[in-house]
Amino acid sequence: MMLRLINLKFFVFVIFFILILVCSNKTFAAEGGPCKDYGECDKFKYSLNDLESLQRGASTYINYCYGCHSLQYSRWGRVAKDLEIPEDIFFENLVFDKSIKPGDLMTGAMPEDAANWFGVTPPDLTLVSRYKGDDWIYTYLRAYYEDSSKQYGVNNLVYPGTAMPNVLLSLQGNQKLVCKDIPEIASNGGEKRDESGKTITKEKCGFLEVEEGTGQLSKEEFDSLIYDLTNFLVYIGEPSKATRERIGWYVVFYFLIFTALSSLLYREYHKDYNK
C-alpha cells in the first residue's frame, strides 16, 4: 500500500514537472502585444541556434536601424563572439566608426538633437523584444502602408501614427491598403451562393498589398529579412537565452534521473521498516 502511494506521488510529480516545462515554453514565451488595426499579430517563432539568420539580422540592423536606434546594453565584441563572426571580419564590415573597440557599448550613431527630427527620440531597442514581444515586432515592420496624410507619406496598421519612417520601403516596395471582394460566409460556415450558384461576394477593405515591381525583394524575401531581423532582436534582448534553454533541458533530465534514483533508494531503506 505504502509503496503504491509513493509511486503515485512520484508519477504526479513527474507529470507536474513536464506540464510546467511545456507551459513555460509555449504559453508564457508567446508574449505578443495587441496589433491594433492589424488584428491578431502574426506569430513569430525564434530560432536562436540558427547563427546564419542571426548574422543576417545583425547586418540588416546595423545597416538600416542602428543609425537611429542604439543597442546600449550590448557590446560589439559580445555580439561578434555570440554570432561566431570573426572579430576582424565583423569590425571590417559592420562597424563603420573605426575608433570603436570590441569592449564598447553599442550606444548608437545618432546625434544628441535627434529628438527634434521626429518629435520622438528613437528608443533604444536592446530590450524591445522583451517589452513589445517578438510577434509584435515581426508584424509591425511588415505593416507599413502608403498614407499621404502623414508626414513621411506612410502609416502603420500595428502602430497607427508612428513617428518612424518606413526605412525598408525600397526593399519591400510600395505597400498599400486595398479592398477585395471576398466570399460571404453563411451561418453554416460555407460560402453563400445565389440561385444560379454563383458565390456572393462582399467588398472588404484593409488588406495590405505591395505594388508590383516597386520593391527590390519579393514578398517571401522581405518576410525572411524581417524574420532574421526580429530573430536578432530576440537574441539582443537576452543574449544567453539559447544557452539557458539548452542547460534547462539538462537540468530537467538530471532531476528526472535523480528523482528515479532517490526513489529507488527510498524503497531500499523502506524494506528495513517493513520487516
**Which residues of the shown chain bind ligand HEC in the complex (CB under 6 A)?**
64-65, 67-69, 118, 120, 122-123, 125, 128, 132, 137, 140-141, 162-165, 167-168, 229
Minimum distance of ligand HEC from residue 166's CB (angstroms): 9
Question: Cell triple for residue 48?
Answer: 536562436
Minimum distance of ligand HEC from residue 203's CB (angstroms): 31
Closest CA to 162 of 266, 36, 257: 36
Q: How far apart are CA 152 and CA 120, in angstroms?
A: 14
**Which residues make Cβ contacts (< 8 Å) with residue 83, sequence separation at least 6?**
51, 54, 55, 58, 235
Query: Which of 167/208 has CB closer to ligand HEC?
Result: 167
Query: Which of 48/164 has CB closer to ligand HEC?
Result: 164
Closest CA to 119 of 151, 148, 149: 151
Minimum distance of ligand HEC from residue 41's CB (angstroms): 13
Query: Which of 95/168 has CB closer to ligand HEC?
Result: 168
Closest CA to 171 of 147, 142, 149: 142
Q: How far apart are CA 43 and CA 135, in angstroms?
A: 5
Minimum distance of ligand HEC from residue 118's CB (angstroms): 4
Question: Cell triple for residue 50?
Answer: 540558427
Minimum distance of ligand HEC from residue 232's CB (angstroms): 9
Minimum distance of ligand HEC from residue 141's CB (angstroms): 6
Number of residue whose CB is nearest ligand HEC: 65
Query: Which of 2/147 has CB closer to ligand HEC?
Result: 147
Query: Which of 132/142 has CB closer to ligand HEC?
Result: 132
Instruction: Report which residue type is found at 243.
Output: T
Are 106 and 71 within 8 A, CB to CB?
yes
Query: Which of 24/58 has CB closer to ligand HEC?
Result: 58
Q: How far apart are CA 236 and CA 17, in angstroms?
A: 29
